[in-house]
Structure 1
């Protein structure tokens, strides 16, 4: 005999498990399209620029089902898809929008991340080097999305009700991410901060092909800033 709890389990599976599987499939489709646009961008840059200066490398590489890379000169975009589905914190303003109020299941999203690392960090496997999260794309069951990100990506794609994924939008996100990377230069640390070093530290640096390196992008998501302000 079915119990009340068993009936609730069936109901939750229908409303949550099936929903999350559908969002996962949507996110995987968007990620596949993003990789396609990354490949197109790499091919276009190779044709338009690297023929002029072959020393500037541009290439696309699919690392795995959930990760791909776009190298351009000394920078690299690493895009990755999370295998899980998320909702927003209950205090998020997204729950105040009419779009989500009409159907709270629209707030469940898959996540795609865009990180910036130095190309040499990957080439020389400098595992102590720091990268930065440039943006994350959050995709719901209807393939509507928002982007949380740095620079212009912080505000351009915030209306989930209107934002629907397509090739042109993904290309725009890629190009804006590349521009942000190119406009963020390496910053030398103050001499006084690095002048003292132990022999072990120096030997470790040599084993890792040099000093630990990373761009000082100073990036934080709005939610992280709010958390820090509450401390």
Structure 2
């Protein structure tokens, strides 16, 4: 007699649920570790800069259990923990790897996204100012991880880790993220582009006033939309 399909469905759901719950616990733990590492790094930066320039703004602000911000001078790094467990498209190298082929349940991932905004955009409530995805940390049920990002951020962690995530990995990642944000200057829009503005744009202090965009992130974003 054939097995009852309901029993098979229940087994699949239980297996996936267990893996997803474990993955979610891992990503939540990593998010707290990232925040702790960020606080330590910011305090270290303060000690190295305050005597030379006390006006440099450095801080870590917890917004909620799923979001915190790092203020680095004129930049605001926004860390967001996503509560849903996801899978990547099938054509991703991660999903085509032997690591996932050996155990398909490793494809389930928790994610933390890091966005870069200009700090003034939040301070002056400029709702139309853009922010850009700088990095994405993905962790599975075994606490192994990959990082997607621009330049050195992605290069350092382009393949799945050989071992579970450690604080030293997060320390390196945050340093790379902060460095990349700090090294990218603002690019003002061309003069003809900001010649005409509306009353609403003036009142909302939008980018049409010539506030500028981050150079590196604008280029990365434009390349992605063209592909």
Give the 4+ runs in structure 1 shifted more than 4 A.
210-213
Instruction: Rate the CA distance shift 1:146–1:7 in 2: closer, same or farther, 3 A.
Output: same
Q: TM-score, normalised by structure 2?
A: 0.89
CA apart distance, 1:198: 3.2
| Aligned: 1:219 with 2:220 | yes
Contact residue 99 and residue 161 of structure 1 kept, 8 A: no
Q: Distance in 1 between matches of 2:5 and 2:212?
A: 54
- 2:154 corresponding residue in structure 1: 154
Q: Distance in 2 between matches of 1:127 and 1:110?
A: 28
- 1:71 corresponding residue in structure 2: 71
CA apart distance, 1:212: 6.0
Q: TM-score, normalised by structure 1?
A: 0.88
CA apart distance, 1:89: 1.0
Instruction: Rate the CA distance shift 1:200–1:149 in 2: closer, same or farther, 3 A.
Output: closer
Q: CA RMSD in A?
A: 2.2
| Aligned: 1:84 with 2:123 | no
Residues 135-214 of structure 1 aligned to structure 2 (within 5 Å): 135-205=135-205, 213-214=212-213
Q: Distance in 1 between matches of 2:85 and 2:46?
A: 36
Deviates more, 1:32-41 or 1:3-12: 3-12
Q: Distance in 2 between matches of 1:97 and 1:7?
A: 31
Q: Distance in 2 between matches of 1:61 and 1:7?
A: 48
Contact residue 50 and residue 57 of structure 1 kept, 8 A: no
Instruction: Rate the CA distance shift 1:68–1:200 in 2: closer, same or farther, 3 A.
Output: closer
Structure 2: state its 5+ residue gaps.
none
CA apart distance, 1:103: 0.2
- 1:60 corresponding residue in structure 2: 60
| Aligned: 1:128 with 2:118 | no
Q: Distance in 1 between matches of 2:161 and 2:182?
A: 31
- 1:5 corresponding residue in structure 2: 5
Structure 1: state its 5+ residue gaps.
none
Q: Deviations over 1:100-147 (max 9, x none)?
A: 111011111000011111111111111111111110000001110000
CA apart distance, 1:190: 0.8
Q: Distance in 2 between matches of 1:204 and 1:69?
A: 23
- 1:21 corresponding residue in structure 2: 21
Instruction: Rate the CA distance shift 1:88–1:127 in 2: closer, same or farther, 3 A.
Output: same
CA apart distance, 1:163: 4.8
